[in-house]
Amino acid sequence: MEQILERLDGVRRHGKDKYMACCPVHQDKSPSMMVTDKGDKITMYCFSCGAKGPEIIKAIGLPTSVIFKDSGTFDKQSYILSKTETEDKMMIAVYDNAVNRGEVISHDDFRRYRLAKSREELRSEQA
């Protein structure tokens, strides 16, 4: 957060973990941009020109990764597994019920079922 704030003009505190500053995207003269530390990421928005984090970061010459804390430790597989868990459980239950009722299973549904089962196995290995 400090490396962002030190590159902005007109910075002033605007509450806990919030700051107002001049927007570097449109060469603001008075603070119209909010910078908020949300714990895992830093959000930025200019109420005047509508610029958001990536545009603002580019304007002050920093890489976009600075707005994400621990951006080097992002685990894509764990993220996907957590986002698909509910859908996978539903797919497995629906598929199992259809098989138990003797319904004809389409090839696409079988592929979705196998994918859900493989992700379920990965989740159990991670636990």
pLDDT computed for residue 74 by the predictor: 58
Q: Where are the domains of the chain?
A: 2-71, 76-126
| Residue 64 pLDDT grade (very low, low, confident, very high; cuts 50, 70, 90) | confident
Across 60-88, average pLDDT: 77
Residue 71 has pLDDT above 70, yes or no: no
Residues 26-41: tens digit of each pLDDT: 988 899 999 998 887 8
Question: Nearest-CA neighbor of 35 among 17, 13, 19, 23?
Answer: 19
> CATH code for 2-71?
3.90.580.10
Total-model pTM: 0.53
